Structure 1
């Protein structure tokens, strides 16, 4: 994989995190109700943004 495409992927991941994940109400609510681990598990397994981030993570490795 070329470094320019890696940079593009990193930039896209950063923009996703900044736009959708920072200050996410659902994450904050689940963190309050079930704890940090519960909220993180939700983000990884059920959130559409989390699934998209995983796809880009796989492309980076």
Structure 2
């Protein structure tokens, strides 16, 4: 697979966030029940989209 440049990586990140994260019912529910921190922790550690976003972040660094 070819290496993506920074602009392409950011485009993939934006697409993922718009497609899956914007309006996520689970995030909204967790935020309501456990607070913003709990919802964010779930997205980072348990959500498959969050894991993919972390991989893109590592490539950006």
Superposition TM-score, scaled by structure 2 size: 0.92
Q: Return 5+ residue gaps in structure 2 as ranges.
A: none
> Per residue, is there more helix in 1 or in 2?
1
Superposition TM-score, scaled by structure 1 size: 0.92
1:59 corresponds to: 59
What is the CA distance between 1:29 and its match in structure 2?
Answer: 0.3
| Large movers: runs of 4+ above 3 Å | none
Q: Return 5+ residue gaps in structure 1 as ranges.
A: none
| Total equivalences in the alignment | 58
What's the C-alpha RMSD, in Å, of the aligned pairs?
Answer: 0.9
1:12 and 1:38 mapped to 2: Cα distance? 25
